[in-house]
Structure formats: structure tokens, C-alpha cells
A and B are shown apart, each in its own frame.
Chain A
Amino acid sequence: MMLDYSLIWQNLPLYLDGILLTLKVLLISLACGLALAVPLALMRVSRACLLRYPAWLYTYVIRGTPMLVQLFLIYYGLAQFEAVRGSVLWPYLSSATFCTCLAFAINTSAYSAELLAGSLRATPRGEIEAARAMGMSRLTLYRRILLPSALRRALPQYSNEVLMMLQTTSLASIVTLVDITGAAKTFNARYYLPFEAFITAGLIYLVLTFMLVRLFKLAERRWLAYLAPRKH
């Protein structure tokens, strides 16, 4: 079987716009997700039951249900309520881009919160004891010692989460957005060349994955250098 790539070259702008949209959705949802994840992780490791259990329930429910269901609940589901349709937020909540970013941000916040909480719990005792001995208050301890150290140590797992999110963004094509997968679907619908359409999309995702892996390697070398095995 021969693949016909001349039509792909002609439709390159379609795929390029798709790449831009994928990256946009990815960046927005990751940024919002991480901003949500930090307070959630702090709640998760807190000793107060009133903080710990709601955060546990949130991450448990989000991590226990499929992303597609969450996306449909927000995109199709919210319109069921009169109050939502009448609210000032409706122009946003009826937009596919906004709903997709919202659903993705909520999803990644739960996973990131769990891995950040794990990283916080793994903080070496000595670091905390040293901070206390220096007379730091709880707030200073969190701000200067716990969070910077936990965020750094979570970097390798967080890179995994980012890669998973890149793959998850393909679901945006189900709610009419033309991301990379959406571009492939459009191409397939136009010419009925399924192999060319989806193999191209797959290759683009692979390249993006490798680039992100490389980026995180560099970030680890920058921020986790003190944990690397000794070379001399």
C-alpha cells in the first residue's frame, strides 16, 4: 500500500493550525491545573480533617472517572440548568474552547495534586527540623523550604503528567475543536484517506512528545542538579 503525501502537503496549514490549538489548550490547562494543584496538595497533606478529606474526595472522584465523561458533563451537561444558561458566565460556558480548557484543567489538577502531595510527604525530615531550628514560622517553612523542594522533586513525575495531558488534548476534537486530531478528522472526511490523515497526526504527536521529553531533561538538569548521581 502506498501513502499519498502530496495532499498532506497541500493541507499543511490545516495541521499547523491544529498544532497551535493543541499547544494553546495544553498550556492553558496545565497552567490553570498547576495553580489549582498547589493548594489542593497542601490541603491533601494537612492534618486538619476538614481540609484533608474534601481534597481526597476531589482527587479520588476526578481520577476515578474518564476524562471524556468530565468533558461531556461540562460541555453538554451544564446547559441543562436554567441558572447556568442565564448567568453572566454563559458566554464562556457555551464556548467549546473554554469548556475544554476548564475540563482539562480540573482533570490535571487532581493528578498533579496527588503527585505533589506525594512529593511533599517525601520531604526529608532533616530539612524541616533544620528550618524549625532556624526559627521559621509555619508559613515561612512552607514558602521557603517545603514547596520549593517538593516542586523540584516532583519534576520527573510531572513530566509524565504533561505527556499524558498532551495525549488527552486529542479529546478536544470530540467537542468540535480542530486540534491535531481534529485536523486529521477533517482531512479524512474531505479525501477519505484514513492512513495518511491519522498517521500524520500520530507522527506530529510523537515529535511533540520527544520535544517535551527533551525539554524536561533540560529542566531537570537545571533544577534537580543537586540530586543527580555524583560524577567524581
Chain B
Amino acid sequence: MLHGYGSSILDGAWLTLNLALLAMALAISLGLVGAACRLSPVKWLATLGEVYATVVRGIPDLVLILLVFYGGQDLVNRLALALGYEQYIDINPFIAGVCTMGFIFGAYLSETFRGAFMAIPRGQAEAGAAYGMSGLQVFWRISVPQMVRLAIPGFTNNWLVLTKSTALISVIGLQDMMFKAKNAADATHQPFTFFLAVAALYLLMTSLSLLLLRGVEKRYSVGCRTADL
């Protein structure tokens, strides 16, 4: 049915998955740093975090991807030239993709983490301190386990959006499943078939993630009463 392009598209799907996972890892670290900045009592750190979250969330992913890819290319080569390196350097679209996606979704996750942290009642941290825990102990033993539970719905949402946004990286030449499907479509003149196959693969990815993360949410919500409506 796919004229022998099936395995090539599956290779692309594997690349897409890797890209999404690595970008998510970067986004989680940036999101935690961003949330810490925004919650910090130090004024300029809070402002910095706020600017990061607002600016990145107000600009389309595609514009940032193109900016990082073309702009980064320009910058790297100018820098290399200044350092006396004469050869032209090509930016790897995979690395550019991971960095850009991580940077974008770090801003979205900083909002999720900040909300989760603020939803934990203050009294709990105070009770921890009253038991003689240090600030770090309160953070790891009291705040983090609850933050995970409170952040999962927002995290799930961001993960799904990120997975779908990876399709955009094909625009800067990453050979992910979107790119492979476009090639196959051009070669066989059957674009509908191939893009439908890619749509099905994405749907599979998002559906499996949804099931998995629902399980995680249940695991972390053990011992938490829900309101009966």
C-alpha cells in the first residue's frame, strides 16, 4: 500500500519520537528554572522569567524555529570566522529542533510548574519547617511529590502539543516522518495516502501518551480525594 516507503516513514517516526523526548527533557529543565525565577523574591530574576514566558508564548513556533535555524547558522559562522575557522558550518536540524522546541515549551511548562507550586497550601511548608526540615528537605519531601500530581494535567497537554509541533521541524530539513512522507508523496504522486499514514502515526503517538500519562496521574493521585459531582 505504501509502495515500500513504509519502513522509511517508520524510521522518520522514530526520529520524531527522539526529537520530542529530548526536547521535552530540555523543556522540563528550562521550565523548572523559569518557574523558580518567576517565583523568586529577587526582582530582576522574576522579571526575566516573566519576559521569557510572555515573549516566547506570544510568538509562533514556526517563526522561532526559522529564527533559530537561519539566525543561528549566521551567528555560528560569523563566530567561527572571527575565531579564524574558514569552513562553512551547517547547523544540524535535529539539534536546532531540540533546542528550539525545548526553549519554546520551557516557557509553557514554567507556567504549569508555577501554577502547581502555588496550588500547594502554604501551611504544609510551614509544618515541614516546624518539624525541623531544612528548606531543601521541605522542597524535595513536601513540595515536589505534590507538584508532580498537580502539574500532570498541564504537562500532558504540553507534551501532546509538543509532539504535534515536531512536524514543523521538517520545514528546516529534518528527515522526520513528515519529511519522508513528503518525499514519498512527490515520488509516487499519492500525497493523500502518505499524509494519512503520518496522521495515523501521530494519532497513535498521542493516544498512547494520553493513556500512559493518565496512568501516571492515577498513581500520583492515590490518597487524594476527588469531589463527587
Contacts and interface: CB of A to CB of B under 8 A. Distances in A.
A166 B193 CA distance: 29
B184 to A, nearest CB: 12
A36 interface: no
A173 B62 contact: yes
A68 interface: yes
Contacts of B67: 194-195, 198-199, 202
Interface residues of B, number: 40
A68 B66 contact: no
Given A65-B203, A195-B74, A198-B71, A206 B55 contact: yes
Interface string B187-215: 00111110110110011001100000000
Interface in A120-178: 166-171, 173-174
B61 interface: yes
Contacts of A78: 192
A66 B202 contact: yes
Given A80-B189, A185-B66, A66 B59 contact: no
Contacts of B71: 194-195, 198
A77 interface: yes
> Do most interface residues of chain B lie in helix, strand or loop, or is the interface mixed?
helix
A197 B74 CA distance: 13
B70 interface: yes
Contact of A167 (B60, B160, B164, B195): B60
Interface stretch (B114-122, B128-136, B165-173): B165-173
B70 A72 contact: no
Interface centre among B58, B64, B78 (most CB of A within 10 A): B58
Contacts of A173: 62
Contact of B74 (A61, A69, A73, A194): A194
B193 A66 contact: no
Contacts of A171: 62, 168
A67 interface: yes
A70 B196 CA distance: 9
Contacts of B74: 192, 194-195
B186 to A, nearest CB: 9
Contact of B199 (A70, A79, A170, A210): A70
A32 to B, nearest CB: 21
A100 interface: no
A64 to B, nearest CB: 4
B178 A68 contact: yes
B192 A66 contact: no
B177 to A, nearest CB: 10
Contact of B164 (A66, A80, A188, A192): A66
Contact of B191 (A66, A76, A198, A206): A76
A197 B63 CA distance: 10
Nearest to B192: A77
Contact of B185 (A76, A192, A194): A76
A225 B170 CA distance: 45
Contact of A68 (B60, B75, B167): B167
A205 interface: yes
Contacts of B55: 206
B58 A69 contact: no
Contacts of B75: 1
A205 to B, nearest CB: 5
Given A194-B70, A194-B71, A195-B71, A80 B63 contact: no
A201 B185 CA distance: 31
A201 B170 CA distance: 21
A171 B66 CA distance: 12
B183 interface: no
B199 A80 contact: no
15 contacts: A64-B206, A65-B203, A66-B166, A66-B178, A72-B182, A73-B196, A80-B193, A166-B60, A173-B62, A174-B171, A185-B66, A194-B71, A198-B70, A201-B63, A202-B64
Given A77-B192, A210-B58, 11 more contacts: A1-B75, A64-B202, A65-B206, A72-B195, A73-B192, A80-B193, A173-B62, A194-B70, A195-B71, A198-B66, A202-B59
Interface of B: 55, 58-64, 66-67, 70-71, 73-75, 78, 160, 164-168, 170-171, 178, 182, 185, 189-193, 195-196, 198-199, 202-203, 206-207
